[in-house]
Amino acid sequence: DILVAVNPFTNLGLYTGIEQRRYKGQARSDNPPHIFAVADAAYQALLHQRQNQAIIISGESGAGKTESANLLLKQLVYLSKAPNRNLEEQILQINPIMEAFGNAATGINANSSRFGKYLDLTMTKGGKVTGARIAVYLLEQSRVVAQAA
């Protein structure tokens, strides 16, 4: 499945709790295409097919890849209803921390991620999040430690 998303550079109100509930457990044909539908499809496939799932986000600088990844994670954590609420919060808070250390201004994007990220959520067979592993790769150290021209 492929979702094409465009970064509007403004809040359109498409990522609220109401929208999260709207896409939970629904057939993809029931709602318009949405990043939450992608998360739900992967989550449902994980539960019913008992196979690991992968979501790849790709695009140009400023396309909204980081925001899309954050929204996917937000929805997956919402769907999983981890028994440990503190764990959910820790997983959701790792992105702003990583962005603080790995983002820099470029000519195209004032808050550009200068690294790639691989996030592996671990879950029970029942779909509850039990942890996360994150690997960072392709870190552009020169942009992170020095001001861009």
Give the tokens for residue 118.
């691989």
pLDDT score of 141 more than 80: no
54 is in an annotated binding site: no
Domain total in the chain? 1
Residue 5 lies in a domain: no
Whole-structure pTM value = 0.84
64 is in an annotated binding site: yes
Residue 7 lies in a domain: no
What does the mean pLDDT of the chain come to?
A: 86
Q: Which residues contact 45 (CB under 8 A, 6 or more apart)?
A: 51, 53
107 is in an annotated binding site: no
Q: Residue 138's pLDDT is what?
A: 79
Work out the pLDDT band at 48, boundaries 50, 70, 90. Answer: very high
Q: What is the CA radius of gyration of the chain?
A: 16
Residue 112 lies in a domain: yes
Residue 11 lies in a domain: no
Residue 70 lies in domain = 17-145
Work out the pLDDT band at 148, boundaries 50, 70, 90. Answer: low
62 is in an annotated binding site: yes
Report helix, strand or coil for 133.
strand
13 is in an annotated binding site: no
Query: Could you read off the pLDDT of 54-65 as tens digits, one per residue?
Result: 999 998 888 888
- Comparing 107 with 33, the larger pLDDT belongs to 33
59 is in an annotated binding site: yes
Query: Could you read off the pLDDT of 71-120 as tens digits, one per residue?
Result: 999 999 999 886 667 888 888 888 888 888 888 888 888 888 888 889 99
Residue 33 lies in a domain: yes
- CATH number of the domain encompassing residue 42: 3.40.850.10
pLDDT score of 127 more than 70: yes
**Burial bucket for residue 107 (CB in 10 Å: 0-12, 13-18, 19+):** exposed
- Comparing 1 with 38, the larger pLDDT belongs to 38
Residue 9 lies in a domain: no
113 is in an annotated binding site: no
106 is in an annotated binding site: no
Q: Which residues contact 101 (CB under 8 A, 6 or more apart)?
A: 144
Residue 71 lies in a domain: yes
C-alpha distances in Å from residue 101, one per residue of 64, 68, 112: 18, 19, 11
Q: Residue 95's pLDDT is what?
A: 84
Work out the pLDDT band at 137, boundaries 50, 70, 90. Answer: confident
Q: Residue 146's pLDDT is what?
A: 60
Residue 56 lies in a domain: yes
